[in-house]
Structure 1
């Protein structure tokens, strides 16, 4: 069983690129399509505890974010990030790569290879 997990959105080119990078490196990963299998509060807190990036970076600031009336002030704390992502899973940054007790957001794309080889 692999110790790699990719939180993946197949419609995202960066997320698809992460899977290609893993494949090219000969790494196998559990792929979780987080829009089909959204993370609950406990899973999000576990993910954030492993995340090497700031928790607020886990939230996409796209047009949907703005359409929900959200601002940076609404995702400044871990509790706020968890609440927003439980309500709006599509706002989670992708891909997220989890390796054992560490996790990163796979943006930019060149972060993925060194992380999985480390």
Structure 2
């Protein structure tokens, strides 16, 4: 099953959703700002992406700059920050089985569907 972690207010996320809609494939949409992702689920997603947690953080977000920037944070603390403040996560994230990508650019999604 393909899953897109989607933020409807984000243009890139909407582009990713449109790409999936046009693909004809079945997929699930999780609006992660409304349906928070658990720490365990986010750890799994980070692992599937093949990234360090910090690489998934939107570092220009005000909450990152005010509360986290410049601090020596562990991976676990970064994961907790994204769970607490989900808008810190890059988006959209698309997961298909044991593969995942950040849909920036949206063409990245084509690599796993």
Fold agreement, TM-score > 0.5: yes
The residue that corresponds to 2:90 in the other structure is: 93
Q: Deviation at 1:74?
A: 4.8
Q: In the aligned structure 1, how far is the partner of 2:72 from the partner of 2:94? A: 24
1:60 match: 58
Task: Calculate the TM-score normalised by the size of structure 1.
Answer: 0.83
Structure 1 stretches of 4+ moved >6 Å: none
TM-score (norm 2): 0.86
Return 5+ residue gaps in structure 2 as ranges.
none
Q: Distance in 1 between matches of 2:57 and 2:93?
A: 11
Contact 2:61–2:88 (8 Å) recurs in 1: no
Q: How many residues align?
A: 112
Superimposed CA distance per residue, residues 48-90 of structure 1 (whole angstroms, 9 cap, x where no aligned partner): 2211344322111123221x33226555x43132121122111
Report the equivalent of 2:42. 44
Runs of 5+ consecutive residues of structure 1 not aligned to the other structure: none
Aligned counterpart, 2:110: 113
Aligned partners of 2:105 and 2:53: how far apart in 1?
17
- Looking at structure 1, the residues matched to 72 and 36 of structure 2 have their Cα atoms a distance apart, in angstroms, of 20
1:19 matched residue in structure 2: 17
